[in-house]
Structure 1
Amino acid sequence: TYLTTFHPQGIALWAGDKYEKVGRFAHKNIKIAVFSPNENYLITLSETEVDAAIIIWDVKTSKMLRAFPAGKATGAKGEVVQGLMTPFKWSADDKYIARRGKDVISVYELPSMKLLEKKSLRADGVHDFFWSPTDAVLAYWAPEGNNVPARVSLVEIPSRREVRQKNLFNVSDCQLHWHPNGTFLCVKVTRHSKSKKTLYTNFELFRVHEALVPVEMLEIKDTIVAFAWEPKGTRFATVHGEGAQRLSVSFYDMDGGNKSTAKEVTLLYTLKDKACSHLYWSPLGNNIVLAGLGEINGQLEFWDANEQQSITVQEHFKCTHVEWDPSGRVVATAVCQPLDNSYYKFTMDNGYTLWSFQGMQLLEEKKDSFYQFLWRPRPRSLLSDAQYADVVKNLKKFEKRFNEMDRLKERERIAAEKAERNRKEQEFQDLLHKRLAVAAARRAEYIALLNGYDSEDDEEYIVQTHTFDDVLSQKEEVMRK
């Protein structure tokens, strides 16, 4: 809905058909601005305002709801320990906003910005947390400490009921990946051996919407380079391997794939020796871009996951960003220059390229000092996930009717084009006859002025034909008898 511009005094919001200014928020030297999922609220962060480094705003009224100081590097129990780059995190429905403290997660209600039940949620050793993209559920993880294993917890808000907890051992690091539909949570766990010299990876996969939230473990022997859920689906893909140039890409299905009736995580297939470091699924699923960024210099492979085949391989040299259009029809790749680095080494290659979802190049633009590329978000679908799945499931039942409707529209289009062509032809004939009549009348007047002489009549002329012989050369030769 809104386009945000940054200024020394604060930020301005622009919206509407003509992108007119609809709001101003005074907060000096803002570095980050983050909207809530439904665009009802806004958070701004400043590096120069000490006591009001973080401000939460009401977007419609431009009213400041509450201000907070910046986080500390360390702190006592309950104090905020995060920095400016990890601000508050919004719940999916805009009802809550939360931030991490030492051994606690503070959850505030909106728009009052009062602490939920006047106390923070206890989360001993919490290292990071994420809201579910669809539900009021928090997932957080805490590392090992004081003979206590590392753990991942799912907590329901506002009841604070812990719906699932999983203890983990020999943990070096964890990364939480929510499925866009909130149906699954993947915890990428990097473990170490007892000697702490060897690292290996496994995935803890939570089925959040099922009874008792069952958890499956998937162990990967290789180093995990990238992980990505398929939107509107049950599949996910990983990039794994030990080398930097030739890695493997594996596709898994949480529902066992088409050939299985059991709901269990199943390896579908693996692609070997791929120049890939990042994965970018289409918002509609199925199509995925296997992108080789960084040292791989921008190789792009457009892959069809259903057909298990490569559509095409392209290249955008020094590519740094890949962005899908929200409709899933177009992919943008870009070479962007950091705002704080005017001597960026890829300045000569700055710009963007647009591709179709099948990998056909649509547009290429070179731009000096090119800093950012963003698609305008689309409104959310009016269909629920269940309705969307039902439509996809029953699509073939309506295919015949849809095809007949398409054929009817095509016949109507052809008939309309033919009628328009006939109308224009008739207009031309009418104009031609009119102009011929005017020309005939003028010719009659012209003949009358010349006393009946018609200069355009061949009968008024005498045609004489003359034949001339030209001797081009003459030569005499004496022939011997």
Structure 2
Amino acid sequence: MDHHTLQKAQCFQGNLEKIAKSTHLVRMGHCLPGTMEKTSKDGTAGVPNLQLYDVKTGTCLKSFIQKKMQNWCPSWSDDEIICARNVNNEVHFFENNNFNTIANKLHLQKVNDFNLSPGSQPYKVAVYVPGSKGAPSFVRLYQYPNFAGPQAALANKSFFKADKVTMLWNKKATAVLVIASTDVDKTGASYYGEQTLHYIATNGESAVVQLPKNGPIYDVVWNSGSTEFCAVYGFMPAKATVFNLKCDPVFDFGTGPRNAAFYSPHGHILVLAGFGNLRGQMEVWDVKNYKLISKPVASDSTYFAWCPDGEHILTATCAPRLRVNNGYKIWHYTGSLLHKYDVPSNGELWQVSWQPFLDGVFPAKTIMYQAVPSEVPSEEPKVATAYRPPALRNKPVTNSKLHEDEPPQNMKPHPGSDKPLSKTALKNQRKHEAKKAAKQEARSDSASTPVIPQSVPRNTITQSVSGDPEVDKKIKNLKKKLKAIEQLKEQAASGKQLEKNQLEKIQKETALLRELEDLELGI
């Protein structure tokens, strides 16, 4: 990796203050950044505790009185022409950084949060109002500054079970994904509450995204083309699924130790990762062909970022999240570790980021599957062995799993079909494919079929796979009973006196053979 590429990673130490966009600094608190003074108890105005500064000149542009700690930070549009702030049942909009005049107001009773759309004009805003007294919560989409009248909203989606929401605009500002969360799961299924995923488009369409596995929603990300999104969800091992704009599943990545997803800047590569309390395993996927590229491991990572060139990946271990083994690594998406920096033991790394570039500076390149060469030795993580009590340490290890891993599965509809297969259709399709594969295997092995003893009926040992576990289980049990009957008949032929219950078993042979024949004919 050349020196120019390494310079793209700029490291910063120290506690960074909250910076909104490029030219404004937001300071919360009268004395120290990141703190807020209490307002007066007697109801008087109190001292302004929220200041907006011009970063270039250091001038304080405006001071506000902010009473709530939640959702206090103002938000700018990407071009910084408008700025919005949540204030007592209203969202206030300022234009051209003139904070002495409120240009527009969006009034909604008990409005709790808002999110400005990315990109340039026309600006859009998503607002969230929590439910109360049996009424549902809702998210509405508006186009700035058209806020007046009951028909002003572009779209509306109401839902229950929402103590708070996370609203995610796609890059083209045509749709929003809403993660609705409750603090407590009343069903008792989860200690961490309950979460649901909703889709709202500016054309008025909305839907609930059906997630096949129960459990928390760890991450949801849009691809750069705004045509699909990926959700990571479900109790561990978590599932990851790509959905289209109709909220239909396109590809299921199966289950694995992951809790985050990251699309490359060009949207052609997707990284599924397990950070935090997981081991740092990453899966790098080609999302055009849905093919696995590499599986590097970045242990103890607290930060992940794609380089704007769409080829290199940055992972870092930063304080205060982790104060040991601070440093950063630069990877190629094919799994090669290209550069590693470890912070000295007397220092701490607080932040690391790529040098920013404008969109379009780096064109998308053809995806490679062969790992690029690297002079940095690969670090194979030590695999921790499971604890074994002393009584079992000298005995053979049995392969047992707490969970059945689900493999990746293409969910796209077959040619000539408008809709993806339903769960039942997919299940029947898997049974049919398993049955077909078993028959092909049986044909290939027919030439090497062992000689069957004459004393054992041929239909009692003929292998058959139905594709249905329950049917296979019944066939296996019937064959087991018939084999035991044959052994009893051999004992009787040798002159051994059989018990009454053993004679009764022999009498059931005809019925068992008939039942077995019926099951095998149904395969």
SS at match of 2:295: strand
The 1:82–1:120 alpha-carbon spacing in structure 2 relative to 1, beyond 3 Å, is farther
- Residue 88, structure 1, aligned to residue 74, structure 2: yes
Q: In 2, distance between residues paired with 1:201 and 1:57? A: 37
Q: In 2, distance between residues paired with 1:158 and 1:305? A: 38
- Residue 377, structure 1, aligned to residue 359, structure 2: no
Deviates more, 1:43-52 or 1:126-135: 43-52
Q: In 2, distance between residues paired with 1:35 and 1:234? A: 28
Look up the match of 1:65: 61
Q: 1:321 is matched with which residue: 294, 303, 312?
A: 303
How far the C-alpha of 1:201 sits from its partner, in A, is: 4.3
Q: 1:54 is matched with which residue: 24, 46, 50?
A: 50
Task: Answer yes or no: is the 8 Å Cα contact 1:226–1:279 preserved in 2.
Answer: yes
Larger Rg over CA atoms: 1
How far the C-alpha of 1:33 sits from its partner, in A, is: 3.4
Look up the match of 1:407: none
Q: Deviations over 1:382-414 (max 9, x none)?
A: 99xxxx9xxx9xx99xxxxxxxxxxxxxxxxxx
The one-letter amino acid of 2:140's match is S
Task: Answer yes or no: is the 8 Å Cα contact 1:30–1:45 preserved in 2.
Answer: no
Look up the match of 1:403: none
Q: 1:222 is matched with which residue: 214, 233, 236?
A: 214
SS at match of 2:173: coil
Q: 1:128 is matched with which residue: 104, 113, 117?
A: 113
- Spell out the pairing of 1:303-342 with structure 2 (5 A cutoff): 303-338=285-320
Report how many aligned residue pairs link the two structures. Answer: 327
Q: What TM-score do the two structures reach when normalised by structure 1? A: 0.61
- Spell out the pairing of 1:435-474 with structure 2 (5 A cutoff): none
The one-letter amino acid of 1:365's match is Y
Q: In 1, distance between residues paired with 2:185 and 2:267? A: 40
Look up the match of 1:261: none
- Residue 104, structure 1, aligned to residue 90, structure 2: yes
Identity, % of aligned positions: 21
Q: In 2, distance between residues paired with 1:163 and 1:363? A: 48
Deviates more, 1:327-336 or 1:193-202: 193-202
The 1:191–1:335 alpha-carbon spacing in structure 2 relative to 1, beyond 3 Å, is closer
Q: 2:201 is matched with which residue: 187, 190, 207?
A: 207
The 1:104–1:169 alpha-carbon spacing in structure 2 relative to 1, beyond 3 Å, is same
The one-letter amino acid of 1:32's match is E
Look up the match of 1:156: 143
Look up the match of 1:354: 330
- Residue 232, structure 1, aligned to residue 219, structure 2: no
Q: In 2, distance between residues paired with 1:61 and 1:371? A: 26
How far the C-alpha of 1:239 sits from its partner, in A, is: 1.0
SS at match of 1:182: coil
Higher strand share: 1
Q: In 1, distance between residues paired with 2:361 and 2:145? A: 26
The 1:67–1:200 alpha-carbon spacing in structure 2 relative to 1, beyond 3 Å, is closer
How far the C-alpha of 1:193 sits from its partner, in A, is: 11
- Residue 281, structure 1, aligned to residue 253, structure 2: no
The one-letter amino acid of 2:238's match is L
Q: Deviations over 1:81-130 (max 9, x none)?
A: 235x741111233122122123222222232213434x742121222111
Q: In 2, distance between residues paired with 1:99 and 1:112? A: 13
Q: Deviations over 1:161-190 (max 9, x none)?
A: 422222223434422111122122111234
Q: In 1, distance between residues paired with 2:354 and 2:53? A: 24
Higher RCO, Cα 8 Å, sep 6+: 2
Q: What TM-score do the two structures reach when normalised by structure 2? A: 0.57
Task: Answer yes or no: is the 8 Å Cα contact 1:107–1:115 preserved in 2.
Answer: no
SS at match of 2:73: coil
Task: Answer yes or no: is the 8 Å Cα contact 1:200–1:222 preserved in 2.
Answer: no
The one-letter amino acid of 2:309's match is S
In structure 1, list runs of 5 or more residues that go unmatched: 1-18, 20-28, 73-80, 255-263, 339-343, 397-481
SS at match of 2:277: helix
